[in-house]
Amino acid sequence: MTKSVFRRFVFFSLAVALICIIIVCGIITFPVSEFIEDSKRSTLEENTRNLSTLVSQIAGNDLHTLSPDEERVFTASLSTISSSLHAITAITDTQGKVVYSSAQELNGKVIDLPQSFVNKLSRGSYFEHGTLHDIYNHQYYISAISITADNGVDVIGYCIVAQATLWTADYIPTIFVVLVALVVLAAILIFILSAVYAYNTTLPLKQMAAAAKRFAVGDFASRGHVKSNDEIGELSQAFNEMADSLASSEGMRRNFIANVSHELKTPMTTIAGYIDGILDGTIPKEEQDYYLGIVSQEVKRLSRLVTSMISLSKIDSGEITVKKAPFVIQETAFNVLLGFESEIEKKHLSIEGMDCDEDIIAFGDSDLIHQVIYNLVENAVKFTNESGYIRFGFTRKATSTYVCIENSGEGVLPEDLKLIFDKFYKVDKSRSVDKKSMGLGLYIVRTIIRLHGGDITAESEPGEYCRFIFWIPDEAKKKKELPYFIKEKENNHEQ
């Protein structure tokens, strides 16, 4: 049978609590017994002194020469005191003969008082927890003191008071029953409290386990509902973040499959249709070159798709390595622009910022940075308005190179801007403008820049411009906050 956290927690708490109760009871027993004995001794010794004083006042100088009236008063007084103390009192002469005792069996009996007893009495008082050398049949608290004559010096006898102890065999069953009852009640209370606490603690874990099982079958709607600030609350928050990430990834995966299916189906259908038309003679020979040109464009489109997928696969598997070397960043940007010359001329775009007075030397993988700039320029050309501009900015600050690429146009909405670097995310969901994109370009851009130890940000003013700024350090460093690299907005829009 599987041991649940709930069951283990309850039994562990119960065991710990019972052990603590037993230890505490054992620790408390000794000081309590010492306190009881000290209190008993103090009270008993005081009562013994008072009784000795009373006997001395009644008897005078001789315990054996009491008148009938004195003996009657003497006997009544001792009986009353013995009853109030619940004790056995005995008055003996110096030879050990019992003159009076509340225990009838001791009256007139001669007690063999030990010499140690007499010696202690000569120095003051006597106290023990025992039987006074087997004079008594049971264990007693025994207090004794000398009885002096009227002169306060001569000893005429001894006053002995024996009081039953609290820890006799008669009390053991009762004490045992009380302790057992207390332990049982404490165990029940601890069990209930531990069970309630354990249930409340493990319930969120069970809920998250059930939700995780639903995640396995594609249901990402479940969330944790713990709002506490403890570890369970942190786990619930992390679980919810994971669920959000999984739900987002699942949505992107479905969109990706739909996009890939569309991207593959459309060019392949076009290619197959035109080739079949050429082969079966539907397309006349004088028009074949035109349609072969369309087929060539669709093949290139498929090639770009495959290239993006290969780049994505390498990024996810960590196969991309950065080989840094110095290169002129403006030359890389110029080479990229040459590849978009026809599109730029077709839309009558203005290219700004390429006429730098000095070369900016960057330290990085020139091939990877070429891909970064290519993807950014491709987006800029695609979304820039007719007769708009694409502006470049290159600079060196400390040991890093900064590149800014800005284009006029509709820009990006704030809700899209924060997701623009996510994998498979497409701003143009209608595919009215961005017909060839898979939503991977900017994700690949950010990944390459971060592999260099830098970072990239995006800013946009809807209806006016969109700006990307990235920086790469000369050496790979721990990621730090991206410095602000933007010229005044007024200067950006002078031309």
pLDDT surpassing 90 at residue 259: no
State the pLDDT confidence band at 432, using cuts at 50, 70 and 90.
Answer: very low
CA angle 181, 182, 186 (to 5 degrees): 115
Let me know if 102 is exposed, middle or buried by CB neighbors in 10 A (0-12, 13-18, 19+).
buried
CATH numeric code, 226-319 = 1.10.287.130
Structure-token pair, residue 331: 């030359």
Superfamily of domain 5-172: PAS domain (3.30.450.20)
In SS3 terms, the chain reads as CCCCHHHHHHHHHHHHHHHHHHHHHHHHHHHHHHHHHHHHHHHHHHHHHHHHHHHHHHHCCCCCCCCHHHHHHHHHHHHHHHHHHCEEEEEEECCCEEEEECCHHHCCCECCCCHHHHHHHHCCEEEEEECCCCCCCCCEEEEEEEEECCCCCCEEEEEEEEEECCCCCCCHHHHHHHHHHHHHHHHHHHHHHHHHHHHHHHHHHHHHHHHHHHHHCCCCCCCCCCCCCCHHHHHHHHHHHHHHHHHHHHHHHHHHHHHHHHHHHHHHHHHHHHHHHHHCCCCCHHHHHHHHHHHHHHHHHHHHHHHHHHHHHHHHHCCCCCCCEEEEHHHHHHHHHHHCHHHHHHCCCEEECCCCCCCCEEEECHHHHHHHHHHHHHHHHHHCCCCCEEEEEEEEECCEEEEEEEEECCCCCHHHHCCCCCCCCCCCCCCCCCCCCCCCHHHHHHHHHHHCCCEEEEEEECCCEEEEEEEEECCCCCCCCCCCCCCCHHHHCCC
* Model confidence pLDDT, tens digit, residues 299-356: 877 787 777 777 767 766 667 778 889 999 999 999 999 888 989 999 999 999 988 7
Query: How far is Cα 147 from Cα 126, in angstroms, rounded to an integer?
Result: 13
CA angle 270, 275, 277 (to 5 degrees): 95
Give residue 458's pLDDT: 93
Fill in the amino acid letter for 47: N
Query: How far is Cα 327 from Cα 35, in angstroms, rounded to an integer?
Result: 91
| CATH fold group of domain 322-492 | Heat Shock Protein 90 (3.30.565)
Instruction: Name the more confident of 453 and 62.
Output: 453
Fold match between 226-319 and 322-492? no
Query: How far is Cα 384 from Cα 465, in angstroms, rounded to an integer?
Result: 9
Q: Residue 357: phi, psi to the nearest 5? A: -75, -30
Reported as half-sphere exposure (CB side, CA atoms, 13 A), residue 289 has a value of: 1
Mean per-residue pLDDT, 10-32: 71
Structure-token pair, residue 334: 């110029």
Most confident of 15-24, 149-158, 368-377, 440-449: 368-377
Query: How far is Cα 392 from Cα 349, in angstroms, rounded to an integer?
Result: 13
Give residue 18's pLDDT: 76
* Model confidence pLDDT, tens digit, residues 47-90: 888 888 888 887 777 777 777 887 787 788 778 878 887 888 88
Pairing assessment for the beta strands 455-461 and 155-164 based on DSSP bridges:
unpaired
Mean per-residue pLDDT, 275-293: 88
Query: How far is Cα 272 from Cα 262, in angstroms, rounded to an integer?
Result: 15
State the pLDDT confidence band at 392, using cuts at 50, 70 and 90.
Answer: very high
Residue 313: how many other CB atoms lie within 10 Å: 10
* Model confidence pLDDT, tens digit, residues 140-159: 888 899 888 877 788 888 89
Can you tell me which residue has the tokens 């009544």? 76
Give residue 61's pLDDT: 79
State the pLDDT confidence band at 5, using cuts at 50, 70 and 90.
Answer: low
State the pLDDT confidence band at 17, using cuts at 50, 70 and 90.
Answer: confident
Give residue 26's pLDDT: 65
Mean per-residue pLDDT, 466-494: 58
Structure-token pair, residue 472: 């790469």
Can you tell me which residue has the tokens 């005429």? 156
* 321 alpha carbon, distance to own chain's centre: 37
pLDDT surpassing 60 at residue 462: yes
CA angle 240, 243, 249 (to 5 degrees): 145
Mean per-residue pLDDT, 35-56: 81
Burial 456-475 (b: 16+ CB within 10 A, else e): bbbebeeeebbbbbbbbbbe
The residues, any chain, with a CB within 8 Å of residue 78's CB and separated by 6 or more, are 51, 55, 89, 91, 100, 102
Contact predicate 288/277, CB 8 Å: no
Fill in the amino acid letter for 118: V
Give residue 393's pLDDT: 94
Domain range summary for the chain, segments of one domain joined by +: 5-172, 226-319, 322-492
Mean per-residue pLDDT, 33-59: 80
pLDDT surpassing 90 at residue 362: yes
Reported as half-sphere exposure (CB side, CA atoms, 13 A), residue 268 has a value of: 7
Give residue 391's pLDDT: 95
pLDDT surpassing 70 at residue 293: yes
Fill in the amino acid letter for 346: K
Decide: pTM greater than 0.85. Answer: no
Beta bridge partners of 404: 393, 469
- Average pLDDT along the chain: 79
Give residue 433's pLDDT: 46
* Model confidence pLDDT, tens digit, residues 191-246: 787 777 777 777 777 778 888 888 777 777 777 666 667 677 777 778 888 888 77
